[in-house]
Amino acid sequence: MKIWPLQFRSIDSSHMVFTDDTGKFFKASTKFLERYATENLSVDDTIFLQQNGHAFLNFDDFQFVGFASRWINRVSPVGDLKYVILVPTLRCDLKCDYCQVSRVAKKARGFDWSEATLRQVISFLSNLSPTEVKIEFQGGEPLLRLDILKTIRSFCRQRFKQAEFVVCTNLQEVSDEAWEFLSADDTQISTSFDGTNHHHQKRRTISDTQQESFEENLGLALARFGSEKVSALPTIDPLDPPEPSELISNYASKGFRTIFLRKVNFQGFARKKYSFEGADRHWEAFYRQFIEELITYNMTADKPVEEFYLSHILRRIVRSGHHNHVDLRNPNWLGKDYVVIDHDGKLYPTDEARMISRVGQIDLSVGDLENGLDAETLHSLNSEASNFDDPDCVHCVYKPYCGPDVVDDLSRYGRIDLPRHETDHCQRHMFLFDLAFELIFSENLAVQKSLANWLDISEFNQRLAPVLS
């Protein structure tokens, strides 16, 4: 019998989680590790490993083929470019304390697409090969250039068999014409709501008038379109977070079933204003408390709520094939299946890359509308797109579920070759994966009820969390 390599990590003083490269996992005692590493497996060990797909007899038997099939489904394929983030203007009618996306004043000049840029964007889109496209309008505040949004949407509806649109708006000033635009079935609304009105006003709207305007418009959007069409994300300052229970209650009462907690981003203009000293520790404490509150809430809620990123991680652990979220996949191809077109026509592999470039730290543009994508730069970035050969990741128990973030490493350290465990990306995800496995192996019924909801299954069966006893 041949055993597929198993990675391991302690989860308490006497137990470890083990995974193979396909992401199949189990919990066992530290004594099993000794037996495994020193080639003294018991008969029971052997039977367990065979039954759980961690071993095979021959290179062409069904266990081998099954493993190969599971492994390939863990690999994020290179997809066609069909997700385009457009930034028709950098102007914004808010001046948020921690602007995530770089912005300029509403009356500033020279930060909108010119007529020529608009033509080039349309030309760029017309050359895409897929028959479907998803366009995300970012900013600045994209509704300040509703004329451009209309032009792009009309073009895409004609050019593609299927076109979807997302307008990322602060919902601060929404004209009748904008409401009409947003009401289309193929158009989604994405906004920010920092969990409580107090936190939202403190960081974003500042004045009572602007806060009232936002609350009124968010209420209108939800009343007219419902939470299927409107999503909201809270940005959290780890040093001044809202009460988790209040955040959950506020989101749930608006009909939101998904909350994507975002820590104030190190990129963009946030880095100029915020002290990040000790923020990670505060964030982890807040996040853990939030998940505990969420589990408590879900125990009695008619409509359970999820934290998006934890659900995504849980799905990646339990199932393969979840490659659509670009923050976590492996390989994490850059400039392949999605791209950002900035207000000046430059192309970026991610929105974060745009922010870093904007603050002048490093130019991570991967081309422009004039000359197209820069193949050489993309090749260079993508040479480190996977964790397959990373000297640290190859030993990591969470490798099958994780993925690199080259842009994040560059933004923080100016290099990508640090020992992985020293990077923010690794530390953040180790915390999240540890938490996920703590939940997966929990025997608490409230935890299992939430897990079932987050994994979209009828009930969380303990067979999903095998234990070698």
Which residue reads 């505060």 in tokens? 282
For 195, which DSSP code? S
67 lies in the site for other proteins, by CB under 8 A: yes
Measured from the CB atom, the residue of 72 and 105 that comes closer to other proteins is 72
The Cα–Cα gap between 283 and 278 comes to 9
The residue among 360 and 391 lying less far from other proteins, judged by its C-beta, is 391
Contact between 394 and other proteins per CB under 8 A = yes
Task: List, as one string, the DSSP characters of 217-284.
Answer: HHHHHHHHH-TTTEEEE-EE-TTSPPPHHHHHHHHHHTT--EE--EEPPSSTTHHHH---TTHHHHHH
Token pair 């190859």 is at which residue? 394
Q: Indicate the pairing of strand 467-468 with strand 372-373.
A: unpaired
The minimum distance between CB 350 and other proteins, in angstroms, equals 28
Q: Is 2 in the site for other proteins (CB under 8 A)?
A: yes
Catalogue the long-range contacts made by 35-39 (C-beta closer than 8 Å, 24 or more residues apart).
Answer: 36/3, 36/6
Q: Which of 1, 47, 72, 116 binds other proteins (CB under 8 A)?
A: 72
Q: 424-440 and 445-454 are packed helices; what angle lies between their axes, rounded to 10 degrees?
A: 120
Instruction: Count residues binding other proteins (CB under 8 A).
Output: 24
Build a one-symbol-per-residue string for 7-36: x at contacts with other proteins by CB under 8 A, - elsewhere.
Answer: xx------------x-----------x---
In the block, tokens 């659900």 appear at 311
* Minimum distance from residue 300 beta carbon to other proteins (Å): 42
| 4-12, 190-198, 290-298, 432-440 -> range binding other proteins (CB under 8 A) | 4-12
- Out of 119, 281, 303, 421, the residue judged to bind other proteins by CB under 8 A: 421
Q: Which is nearer to other proteins, 39 or 185 (CB)?
A: 39
User: Applying CB under 8 A, does 71 fall inside the site for other proteins?
Assistant: yes
Residue 59 binds to other proteins (criterion: CB under 8 A): yes
Of 62-70, 147-155, 170-178, 364-372, the segment contacting other proteins by CB under 8 A is 62-70
Shortest Å distance, C-beta 9 to other proteins:
9
Distance from C-alpha of 171 to C-alpha of 148, rounded to nearest angstrom: 18
Q: Is 6 in the site for other proteins (CB under 8 A)?
A: yes
The torsion angles phi and psi of 26, rounded to 5 degrees, stand at -160, 165
Q: How far is CA 111 from the centre of its chain?
A: 28
What does the binding site for other proteins look like in residue numbers (CB under 8 A)? 2, 4-8, 21, 33, 37-39, 59, 64-65, 67-68, 71-72, 391-392, 394-395, 419, 421
